Structure 1
């Protein structure tokens, strides 16, 4: 573990904790942080000892989005807009896609401000929990005249509804952790001092799931967004056709009949 790295990775008990580590700047999604985070996620993808991931921030913030002070056109003759779009498509967008396709569940522990692209990063997790003092804030349009990114325009209306997504995008207001829970934007909030403990407890529960559970859940809910009810019912029955014949189902039934917790193998 390198305490000076933009991303600190710690592995204990099958849980990898990734800490965004630029606290002096409130953990902006700087280029070097993105590179380090991508590399850490790829190592986790290959490490079969990892059963769950916690993503959090060092210091007072989770992630405040782009480092505007570092944004300037390069010397390749490209505009700042061209350069930014290329960075997003080659680095930032794949980060979100990687989080959403990891073979293990991801818990975002939002320890403070999640602003701009930091909101997208927090919502890319499978389960998002926040400190009670944390908040979610989209300054893109009211402050900068640009659209929310890193998946915010996809995630927020699906979680909280279009009306609340539009309000967040346009009204320049912070959404506190408790309000975010009420809206369905995140799973839960915890007292600030208890956030790390709560996130780890959730990660430990997720680590005990069947290895394929998170991928199946993601795929099932994604399918429901494009299917009619009849199509989704058909999808569910076809997945049961395969999954019921797996050893994990047999173990689950045995555990139920024996009144004990099931024990599932790792991935």
Structure 2
């Protein structure tokens, strides 16, 4: 599920479930944390790049992993899932004292956007598109999205994006500050490698010190936001609208929300 390699002083971590758009299940989280630990400890790896296989970066949570629970009508504590998986991943990406690049090769949805925003730099393919998606299943944005997007977009644009469920393309994402560079799809991987290897030959200690300075300002508020998102997601996950949204997704139909 994770392909890990070190090339030219760059550790590449590739999410590799292309058949489900690199949706994140427990096994992928386990392997992802292991790969991040390896990259953090490997002295030849100066920069870390996270990307996806196929046509997606990641679409976030794998609802299929929880399908049996929903079909049986069992409640799921989404707050606990965030505390066990997503929140530690966001904090881990921020706390590694090596530059982390999110190489966004394609579709990025839900928590996948939060994971990308936790990276130090985001490089996007022209084929990338961003879908907030939480509103489709009556959940609130998580994985740090309420923290990052309120600051990047403003509360009005965040609310509009959530309500509309529209896709944001790569060029609009660049204008909004969601990504830092956009490369044409046909040259995306070599351009990412060029960027990462150039960074790997730079002043690495200074990069680490800058990241410390940024985290000193960012991490206290981000950590608080992550915990509050987990609390809200626990509440949202128990609503009738959430169950209806997930069942509609599984059954490939439009949801019929009742506001409950």
The structure whose residues are more often helix, as a share, is 2
Same fold by TM (over 0.5)? yes
Q: Is 1:179 aligned to 2:159, yes or no? A: no
Task: Output the CA distance in 1 between the equivalents of 2:110 and 2:217.
Answer: 28
- Inter-partner Cα distance in structure 1 for 2:208 and 2:150: 22
Show the counterpart of 1:257: none
Q: Unmatched 5+ residue regions in structure 1?
A: 1-5, 227-267
Shift of 1:43: 1.2
The 3-state SS of whatever aligns with 1:200 is: helix
Cα distance change, pair 163–214 in 1 and its aligned pair in 2 (3 A): farther
How many residue pairs get aligned? The number is: 216
The CA distance in 2 between the partners of 1:175 and 1:27, in whole Å, is 19
**Which protein shows a greater Rg?**
1
State the secondary structure of the residue aligned to 1:71.
helix
| Structure 1 residues 77-99: Cα deviation after superposition (integer angstroms, max 9, x where no partner) | xx6432x3223212221111111
Q: Indicate the residue corresponding to 1:31 in structure 2.
A: 26
Provide the C-alpha distance between the structure 2 equivalents of 1:185 and 1:158, rounded to a whole number of angstroms.
11
SS of alignment partner, residue 60 of structure 2: coil
Match of 2:119 among 117, 125, 136: 125
The alignment's C-alpha RMSD in Å is 2.0
Cα deviations by residue, 1:52-96 (Å, 9 ceiling, x for unpaired): 01111001111011111221577xxxx6432x3223212221111
Would the aligned equivalents of 1:111 and 1:131 in 2 still touch at CA under 8 Å?
Answer: yes
- Separation (CA, whole Å) in 2 of partners of 1:183 and 1:197: 25
Partner Cα separation in structure 1 for residue 75 and residue 187 of structure 2: 41
CA offset at residue 224 of structure 1?
5.4
- Decide which of 122, 135, 153 is 1:160's aligned counterpart: 153
Aligned residue for 1:139? 133
Residue of 83, 88, 105 corresponding to 2:99 = 105
Query: Paired residue for 2:200?
Result: 207
The offset of 1:110, in angstroms, is 0.7
Compare relative contact order (CA 8 Å, sep 6+) and give the higher one, 1 or 2: 2
Tell me, yes or no, if structure 1 residue 17 matches structure 2 residue 12: yes
